[in-house]
A and B are shown apart, each in its own frame.
Chain A
Amino acid sequence: MFPPVLVLAAVAGGTALGAAALASARWPYRSPGAAILLWQALGLSWGLAAVGALAALGAVPGEHGVAGGALSGAARAIRSAALGFGPPALIAAARLAVLAASAALFALLVWVLLAASAAVLVARRRHRILLSLLAHGDPKVPGALVVDHPAAAAYCVPGLRSRIVISAGTLDLLDSAELAAVLAHERAHLRARHDLVLLPFSALGRAFPRARLVCQAHATVALLVEMLADDRALRQRPARELATALLRVGTSGAGLAPSGALAAASAADAEMTTRVARLLAPQARLPRHVQALVCCTAALLVAVPVTLLLFSF
């Protein structure tokens, strides 16, 4: 039996490699839902394994897995430091150091998520108040709010009191069929709470803007979520309406973007081209058994670190 620390370190390394491979894979475009599940599992598994590997380094063998071992390891090291007996001081200090690093990493990840959630809630609340002061309904887009501004914008404010917002510029730009496709797309986002899927990835992306893999993961999941909403909208509207709506809104502001946003623009280019191509020339979804395999992989990815953290063998 391998020691847990090796398995956890291998899982942490493996999930990072897997994420890099998944970021450049093309099959996720065929079944975005399954791919998103795999991304979530990779992220969760990496977090648990990284925290767990550090904890396992400082843990003592015990009954309750790495988590229990880490707690008794910390207790033993502190006791020996206080009473002056037990393992040599150097070992006790090293044990405390890795356990502290493990706890710090865990706290950092939790903090990043909580801080991002709070920031998002505050921003949304402010946005909703402004909307209630400025926006009005319009019979052309039932259920959506209209803001009088010439630029083309269509978006949703997710949350318990969700809103779909269309700018006056978009109303002028799109015909009624395209508007219906936009509304179907935005309603899909709101109904499936895609914002909750995206939140952890965007939180990590903002907290570690220099970590390429984290930013790649965020961009990829953001694109997959859009594809999921596109697919959902296709159940009600023809692909052509959605594609032309995308093209019109996407190209309407060209030339207006500030020059500082070049990197963002090239990322947006690739994203929009992929979405439009996918709508105009759809590919078959992944076969059922492949999707099932992806889901099983996701479950396994999370189950391994959780098992090692909670149970001893």
Chain B
Amino acid sequence: MDVLWDSTEPLTVRQVGLRLTNRDLAHTTVMTVLDRLAKKGFARRQRDGRAWRYQAAANREAYVTELMLHALDQTGDRSAALASFARRVSDSEAEVLRRALESIGEVPRD
């Protein structure tokens, strides 16, 4: 997926394989992975002669944003899908908590 994100143009299976130089992957392995990414909607593909050309469906930042939105569920009805360590508090409460932090001898960092 990193290869697709780093490329500006759609790539063929062979091109993706060539860019994965650090790993020794069979052509068919790369093809299977790309096929699965396309089926799951992470990559788009188009016919180019006899080969498929693949490109990322959305950029990396969009997916990171989706992940974090899900993780930092601000709506209050926390879904049971994830379990967050701490919840965001309001400004006034943050002040109270920062003072608590200072009172136990810790300097708040931001």
Contact = CB atoms under 8 A, between A and B. Distances in A.
A176 interface: no
Contacts of B101: 244, 247-248
Interface in B69-110: 70-72, 74-94, 96-98, 100-101, 104, 106, 108-110
B66 interface: yes
A167 B108 contact: no
B87 A195 contact: no
Interface residues of B, number: 43
Contacts of B77: 202, 205-206, 209
Given A147-B68, A199-B80, A205-B77, A273 B96 contact: yes
B81 A247 contact: no
Contacts of A138: none
B89 A120 contact: no
Contacts of B80: 116, 120, 195, 198-199, 202-203
A182 B64 CA distance: 21
A255 to B, nearest CB: 6
A127 B81 contact: yes
A272 B98 contact: no
Given A189-B83, A268-B87, A268-B89, A258 B74 contact: yes
Contacts of B42: 129, 133
A154 B85 contact: yes
Contact of B82 (A127, A261, A263): A127
Contact of A123 (B72, B74, B81): B81
Contact of A254 (B63, B64, B81, B89): B89
Given A157-B81, A251-B97, A251-B98, A261 B63 contact: no
A147 B69 CA distance: 12
Nearest to B105: A240
Contact of A149 (B64, B82, B88): B64
B8 to A, nearest CB: 19
B47 interface: no
Interface in B18-59: 40, 42
B14 interface: no
Nearest to A215: B77
B81 A151 contact: no
A221 to B, nearest CB: 11
Contacts of B94: 250-251, 254-255
Nearest to A157: B82
Contact of B74 (A119, A189, A261): A261
A130 B67 contact: yes
Contact of B97 (A149, A247, A262): A247
B83 A156 contact: yes
A251 B67 contact: no
A257 interface: yes
7 nearest CB pairs, A to B? A264-B76, A254-B94, A268-B87, A154-B85, A269-B93, A251-B94, A123-B81
Interface of B: 1, 40, 42, 60, 63-64, 66-68, 70-72, 74-94, 96-98, 100-101, 104, 106, 108-110
23 contacts: A129-B40, A130-B67, A134-B64, A149-B64, A154-B86, A155-B83, A156-B83, A173-B110, A198-B80, A205-B77, A206-B77, A244-B101, A250-B86, A250-B94, A251-B94, A253-B72, A254-B90, A255-B94, A256-B88, A257-B74, A265-B90, A271-B87, A272-B89
Given A198-B80, A253-B72, 11 more contacts: A147-B67, A151-B68, A155-B82, A157-B82, A167-B71, A173-B109, A186-B85, A247-B100, A252-B110, A265-B88, A272-B97
